[in-house]
């Protein structure tokens, strides 16, 4: 190995490590790209999107060897203490450290009142509240060792502006928001905990159970002061800021084109 390659390898081994849950596609993948571009080693977590996750890791590793890895798991593992410990061990073993944990994985779909069931409650609270809390707890020793941080992807509707027909989702994201503020106290001064609250930074896929009809999409755009849907990169920039803002904890940044200034609730 020549001296240049050797120095590059040493630099890579010293680079901070970021885990982003649900990061094979969309906003999660944008965060992975942004972090990797800033020199982070990245752990791409997915459940069903294994092909996309591996393709993303392969591309990043071609540009910088041994800088990206994939971990596949259903976050329901948090319901079993032994499985969760194994998962935490696997994450740490990937690069031998963990500096930043980003809670991005989330389920989002309507639960009209009068038709809410246990399965919807369990699924939405698992991905949007329970898994972030228990995963943070399991990884706390590794984050503390690095004086690292946790960054949660929330929602502007989690703060007193509920989205109509999404009661369970609203409740779960509100719980996640309170987790950010609570853990900022619990984990200080060793680990910082912050959040990013998107507005409409990406629209759900048209063929998914999260789809929004075209009329509602236009109404949403009309309600945004910036008059456009945001981008995943807008969220990624804010996540990277918080990852490096050493004196910021317990804060939640809205990245919504100004929509929270005019939002009265009732529409997404």
Active site residues: 169
The DSSP symbol for 174 reads H
How far is the C-alpha of 136 from the C-alpha of 140, rounded, in Å? 6
111: left (phi over 0), alpha (psi -120 to 50) or beta: beta
**CB-CB contact of 101 with 135 (8 Å):** yes
Cα–Cα–Cα angle for 58, 64, 66, nearest 5°?
70
Q: CA 178 → CA 39, 133, 148, 184, 260, distances in Å?
A: 31, 10, 20, 10, 18
């Amino acid at each position: 190995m020549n001296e240049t390659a050797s120095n590059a390898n040493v630099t890579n081994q010293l680079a901070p490590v970021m885990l982003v849950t649900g990061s094979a596609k969309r906003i999660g993948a944008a965060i992975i790209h942004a972090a990797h571009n800033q020199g982070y080693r990245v752990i791409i977590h997915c459940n069903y999107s294994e092909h996309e996750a591996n393709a993303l890791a392969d591309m990043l590793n071609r540009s910088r060897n041994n800088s990206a890895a994939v971990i596949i798991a259903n976050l329901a593992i948090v319901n079993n203490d032994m499985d969760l410990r194994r998962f935490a061990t696997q994450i740490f073993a990937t690069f031998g450290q963990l500096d930043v944990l980003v809670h991005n994985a989330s389920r989002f779909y309507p639960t009209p009142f009068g038709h809410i069931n246990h399965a919807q409650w369990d699924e939405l609270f698992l991905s949007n509240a329970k898994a972030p809390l228990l995963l943070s707890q399991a990884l706390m020793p590794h984050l503390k060792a690095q004086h690292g941080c946790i960054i949660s992807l929330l929602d502007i509707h989690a703060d007193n502006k509920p989205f109509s027909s999404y009661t369970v989702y609203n409740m779960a994201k509100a719980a996640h928001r309170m987790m950010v503020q609570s853990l900022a106290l619990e984990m200080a001064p060793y680990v910082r905990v912050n959040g990013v609250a998107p507005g409409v930074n990406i629209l759900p896929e048209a063929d998914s159970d999260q789809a929004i009809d075209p009329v509602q999409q236009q109404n949403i755009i009309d309600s945004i002061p910036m008059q456009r849907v945001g981008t995943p990169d807008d969220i990624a920039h804010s996540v990277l800021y918080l990852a490096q803002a050493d004196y910021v904890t317990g804060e939640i940044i809205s990245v919504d084109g100004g929509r929270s200034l005019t939002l009265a609730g009732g529409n997404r």
